[in-house]
A and B are shown apart, each in its own frame.
Chain A
Amino acid sequence: MSDLELLRRHEPIARLTRGELFFPSAVDAYVRGCGLWMRDESGRTREIVPRGALDLETLAARGDTPAGSSLHLRFVEEPLTAIDLQRWLQRPGRESFRVPGRLARVSFPSRLVDSGFNLSLLVRGKVPGGTAAAAEVAWRNRTAGEARFVYYGRVVREGGWIALQYLFFYPMNNWRSGFHGVNDHEADWEQIFVYLYEPSAGAVPEPYWVAYASHDYQGDDLRRRWDDPLLRKQGAHPVVFVGAGSHASYFEQGEYVMGVEPQFLTPIRKALTQARQFWTVVLGQGLDIPNETSANSPLSIPFVDYARGDGVSIGPGEARQWSPVLISDAVPWVDRYRGLWGLDTRDPFGGERAPSGPKYNRDGSVRRSWSDPLGWAGLDKVLPPPEVPTALGARRAELDTEIATREQTIQEQRHLVRKLAVDVTALGATEYHSALHTRKTRDLTAMETELRGLQSAQVEAIETRAAIRAYDERIRAGDAGDPRTHLRHVHRPAPPVPPQRRIVQLWGALSGAIALLMLVAMVAFALPHWWLWAVSVVLVFMAVEAAMHGRIANFLLNTVITLAAFATLILVWEFWRLLLVLGLIAIAIYILRENLRELAKS
């Protein structure tokens, strides 16, 4: 079976979200619409191949750069102006994308941090507003009447596996501007893998693993076994749910909440978590044991990746079909162009910079997914199914030999230890042999330790052999085990959000700015008892927040606990001497009681 036939046999079905603007596309059409730019050592950028004169061949030919320089493409020449952007937003036939208010889902501190993140975009390099709209217009004009949905496929045979790599190119990632996400950037490369094995020599390869590239996940967590009930398939084709704007790939349909926590807030979050652990676990207060992750941390910025799968579908059995293109190291534009595939904003966090091509990272090094597709998904350690029984048999034979050899060594060692023990006992009978007795005792201790080590290694080997025997029996009975045991972190979609009232969404959007304005007012008017005002403002905000989310009872109870904690501080402040004395008296009584009890027993 040829590489292309293999790719087509298992090509995925991509389900995008309604409102998505950009689809897996052909790179040749995109490159023809781009100019090639170079940034030199001094940081100046200049166009080295103008728009219209660039194609994939030219791109490959201009791939080399002098030291200190970098290359990038630019697809959008000028972002849309504010007026054009409004016209674009109100264009007829625009697919609307509606979401329950992201900010109304989370706590007030998260919203404040989120505002800080938005402010940071003013000083970081970012894709200018109106770029995504301009890209959509330019791409629509460029591909008018030619709707090709392309994947770039590659087949790698390695370590008994056949890795089918499917790469998808999108002209733009508009997650931030289109779907309230983390970032925007020109051009987007995404990928998934299907791993096959040959049941027997010459037989048709069968799929066994599937791996999707996703935010912040790596290794084993990227892949699912073909028989995993949570992996959606249609025949021999896995289904990919594509994140709106981000184009990240997901196994399940839904909305994925991820908390992006600014690094400088991590110590505060950890301290808060520890305080809560102490409060609930050590002091036994409250009903819930905190289980905090970055996604539900009160200090993280809440982002949602919408992989609803309710938009365009591409693939076998769908209205839109794939146009596959085979790529490899032999394809010049893949191998020779290491620059970025879109605008280089120089964002220090990287989120707003365009990616490099299918083979390279932004720094020009080779991507692990390209050079080591097995290791990328944690498959280096995994045997293809037909090889498992043979490997188990070989390992059992190895262990049998190891156990038999070690048993012999243990017998010999025990014999030596016993001989030495006889000597030591005999020499210990008289003071005249004390020097010899001491040396032989030391030798005996060392030999005993060695014997203990051999015996524990023997136990481990016997236990391992038993486990391998049981594993072998399960495999021969056709039981491959739980398909999810290799997973450490599983990103599941968030539960559906109930519809929110308009007032809750409005409060979510306005509360951060109102809090800031109130703070400004307190400073500007130099209010007397400003701290009382500050506490009152915080309380009012928290009360409104709680009322909006129907948690007013919780708010009141938390306020009572806070008051009790504050009153405790007052009492400690006022009576610390008395408390110290009482504490010491208590300790003295305790010691006295324990000692007297011991005395009574003896």
Chain B
Amino acid sequence: MDSETRPEATLAAPGTARGRTVRKRPFVLNMVAGLLALKAVGHVIIMTVFWLGYLDSPPAYVSGLFVEQAGEYRYFATMIVYAAMYAIVAIGLWRLRSWAWVATMLVLGFDLATTIIGYFQGRANYPSMVLSVVCVFYLNDRDVQGLFARRRARETEA
């Protein structure tokens, strides 16, 4: 990990700007949060496109295991849940919330499980797999975990 992404290096003592506490996040963490936010937006766009009738069926790489051959309403409901889930963890990560670390890992685990099963069923989604793997190993890095642990300690103290 380079010095740019090392939390100890970038997370200096919080300064203040216009009366608000400003905390720097590692660049890669911003990327992960942004990626999850994009996934949330992507789900909403696909749902909208499908709802407007531009798609005959939900795309397999997005719909995953739970919506295949399901009814339209169930598909919409699942897509909304997915979009909400990604949006919540993205915001949590962005704000360095300790719960968001656990939640993101679980969401990524769910993604990995679906892509691995998809792989064995002949529906491999390698880009998703690569991104999930990179995100999991990045978030499991001791320095990144330490960042959230320190945050949790501060929350407890407060």
Q: A residues touching B (Cβ–Cβ < 8 Å)? A: 280, 284-287, 553, 556-557, 559-561, 563-564, 566-568, 570-571, 574-575
Decide if A285 touches B140 in the complex (CB within 8 Å). yes
Quick one: which of A280, A563, A566 has the most chain B CB within 10 A? A563
- B116-142: contact bitstring with A at CB < 8 Å (1 yes, 0 no)? 100100001010011011001100111
What's the minimum C-beta distance from B23 to chain A, rounded to whole angstroms?
21
Q: Can you add 10 more A-B contacts, CB < 8 Å, to A560-B105, A575-B126? A: A280-B142, A284-B141, A285-B141, A286-B140, A556-B105, A557-B106, A561-B140, A564-B108, A564-B136, A574-B124
Q: Determine if B113 and A564 form an interchain contact, defined as CB atoms under 8 angstroms apart.
A: no
Q: Do B109 and A559 touch (CB < 8 A)?
A: yes
Stretch at the interface among B40-48, B49-57, B64-72, B143-151: B143-151
Query: Contact at A574–B1, with CB atoms within 8 Å?
Result: no
Knowing A557-B102, A571-B130 are in contact, say whether A564-B137 is a contact too (CB < 8 A): yes
B105 interface neighbour in A557, A567, A570, Cβ under 8 Å: A557
A556, B142: Cβ atoms closer than 8 Å: no
Q: Which residues of B contact A (CB under 8 A)?
A: 1, 102, 105-106, 108-109, 112-113, 115-116, 119, 124, 126, 129-130, 132-133, 136-137, 140-143, 145-146, 149
Chain A contact residues: helix, strand, loop or mixed: helix
Picked from A284, A553, A564, A568, the residue with its CB within 8 Å of the CB of B1 is A284
11 contacts between A and B (CB under 8 A): A284-B143, A285-B140, A285-B141, A287-B145, A556-B105, A556-B109, A560-B106, A560-B136, A564-B132, A564-B137, A571-B130
Q: Which residue of A lies closest to B109 (CB)?
A: A560
Is B115 a contact of A567 with CB atoms below 8 Å?
Answer: yes
For the complex, what is the distance from the CA of A559 to the CA of B106, rounded to whole Å? 9
User: Cα distance A408–B15 when bound, in Å?
Assistant: 66
CB-CB under 8 A from B143, the residues of chain A are: 284
The CB with the most chain A CB atoms within 10 A, among B106, B132, B136, is that of B136
The interface residues of chain B lying within 8 Å CB-to-CB of A561 are 136, 140
Question: Are B137 and A287 in contact, CB atoms less than 8 angstroms apart?
Answer: no
What are the residues of chain B within 8 A of A286 when measuring CB–CB?
A: 140, 142, 145
Check A563–B112 contact: CB distance below 8 A: yes
In the complex, which residue of chain B has the Cβ closest to the Cβ of A561?
Answer: B140
Most interface-central of A280, A287, A575 (chain B CB within 10 A) = A287
Tell me which residues across on chain B come within 8 A of A571, comparing CB atoms: 126, 129-130, 133
